[in-house]
């Protein structure tokens, strides 16, 4: 799909759909690798935080001594993309989270966990994403969050276009940080991953 970009992109491999992100990134020309330890984090130019269970990712990030190193890399400008639970982990404010839940933060937004409902309420819908062109992205939402507040520096890239959640924010960017409430790695559409690989290459 893409020529080799030379950019090294890690996928946080504590919990969640790691293999799907690794495959998508590789198809976009990135050198993709799993990240489970601080030394592996030091070897990548950018990071993907996958979907899964945000409270579990939070707990394991602390146990694997990755929480503070990732926060420091984000502060230093490392590009990070978070999908679903990864969006929650990138939020500065988590609504309906656990009292002991920690996050990498970075994006000035408030995100509500499981905003669309439980697993049985999962759904798919087209979402127009600014900068990705046509057609709309076929988005897969699984126990997905949505964004309830964004700061002045946050660019809203996509909103739900139909149904009871019409207008809810589901894709954002702030500088080198990108987040979606849906799972692009579960589709054959690589435009979100391609955008992130290009962001990482430009920041390298």
Catalytic residue IDs: 84, 183, 185
| Residue 198 Ramachandran class (φ > 0 left, ψ -120 to 50 alpha, else beta) | alpha
The DSSP result for 101-134, as a single string, is: ------EEEEEETTTT-SGGG-EEEEE--TTS-S
Distance of CA 29 to the CA centre of its chain: 19
Distance CA 9, CA 165 (A): 33
Q: What is the dihedral of CA 69, 70, 76, 80, to 10 degrees?
A: 160
Least Cα distance to 13 among 42, 45, 50 occurs for 50
31-35 and 46-49 as β-strands: parallel, antiparallel, unpaired?
unpaired
Q: Exposed/middle/buried for 107, CB within 10 Å: 0-12, 13-18, 19+? A: buried
Distance CA 55, CA 49 (A): 13
């Amino acid at each position: 799909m893409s020529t080799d970009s030379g950019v090294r992109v890690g996928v946080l491999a504590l919990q969640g759909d790691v293999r799907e992100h690794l495959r998508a990134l590789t198809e976009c020309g990135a050198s993709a690798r799993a990240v489970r330890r601080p030394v592996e984090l030091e070897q990548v130019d950018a990071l993907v935080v996958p979907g899964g269970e945000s409270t579990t990712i939070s707990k394991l990030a602390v146990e694997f001594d990755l929480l503070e190193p990732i926060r420091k890399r984000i502060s230093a400008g490392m590009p990070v993309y978070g999908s679903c639970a990864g969006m929650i982990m990138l939020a500065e404010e988590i609504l309906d989270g656990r009292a002991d839940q920690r996050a990498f933060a970075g994006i000035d937004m408030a995100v509500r966990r499981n905003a669309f409902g439980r697993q049985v309420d999962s759904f798919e819908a087209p979402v127009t994403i600014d900068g990705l062109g046509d057609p709309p992205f076929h988005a897969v939402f699984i126990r997905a969050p949505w964004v309830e507040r964004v700061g002045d520096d946050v660019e809203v890239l996509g909103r739900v276009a139909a149904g009871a959640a019409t207008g809810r924010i589901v894709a954002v960017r702030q500088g080198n940080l990108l987040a979606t409430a849906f799972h692009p790695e579960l589709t054959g559409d690589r435009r979100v991953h391609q955008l992130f690989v290009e962001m990482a290459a430009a920041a390298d």
